[in-house]
Amino acid sequence: MFSYRHAFHAGNHADVLKHSILIAIARYLTQKDTALTVIDTHAGAGLYRLDGDYAQTSGEAADGIAKLIEVHAHTLPEIVRDYVELVNEFNPGAAYSQSSTPKVYPGSPFVLQRLLRQQDRLKLFELHPTDSKALAANIAQLEAERQIAVLREDGFGCVTQFLPPPSRRALLLCDPSYEIKTDYARVASLLAEGLKRFATGCYAIWHPIIPRPEAHELPRRLRTLTNQAGRPWLHATLTVKSGKDATGLPASGMFIVNPPHTLQDALKSTLPQLVELLGQDRNAAYTLESTTH
């Protein structure tokens, strides 16, 4: 269960989708003065080197963040531009040019930390022994012990610890590796428990789109659970390649419960452009579904 390392995949097309949406959600939620509790169930190491051995082995960032860096800022949709600018903050001197591919890539803990305010709190879960040690060391550099908690625990147990939060405002990001088949059922169970304990929280769930029955079934289960709770949801997917010759991860999605009301319109203009920018074959596509109650 400890074989997965996100360092191999940092900055790929799935990270582009996940982190662009995550930034848009966090920016919206921090417009209100009331404190926000943010929970990252599978935080990883927090920071990654795109010029390191892991990332160089897979080369996935070349078809993700690197392609966006090559594009002039004013041509990018707003939520993607915000994402690229945040990544560039971790790479001093980086600019929108072909020679400035970032060397440092922020994972979701550092993406979120950059957006939170003094009154907000960040809870980071990571069970992998190597990644949790790296995460703790990376976070320690921020000297933000009062704001950020790093827990070497199973993130699927986070709901009962921290929901509902005292401020009654929370964002939960869940993006496990899904290397273990049981992760799919555990994600659904986490959302079910979360909605039972704190129905008004914002839940952002990343999932891979791969030829596996559990992967196909998960979005349907999430929709059913959310509809039963009477809450609005939004589901965005990005496919960069498909077909029998497509290797690696061909597509992924983000399922958001209680999404910001501005997010759907933003994604309507963003997703077609991501298909153009990141598509690897003629089968590249996107979907955007939602419901409101």
Structure tokens at 150: 């790093």
DSSP H or E run through 164: none
Strands 121-125 and 37-40: parallel
Bond prior to 164 in cis (omega within 30° of 0): yes
Q: Are 164 and 172 in contact (CB under 8 A)?
A: no
Beta bridge partners of 105: 48
The closest of 186, 214, 190 to 201, measured between CA atoms, is 190
68 C-beta neighbours (distance < 10 Å), count: 22
Length of the chain in terms of residues written = 293
Options 40, 63, 131, 175, the catalytic residue:
175
Opening angle at CA 220, ends 188 and 160, nearest 5? 15
Residue keyed to tokens 């991501």: 274
Amino acid at 42: H
Is position 175 annotated as part of the catalytic site? yes
Cα–Cα separations (whole angstroms), residue 267 to 17, 23, 51, 217, 264:
10, 13, 30, 23, 5
Distance CA 209, CA 264 (A): 21
Q: Mind telling me the catalytic residues?
A: 175
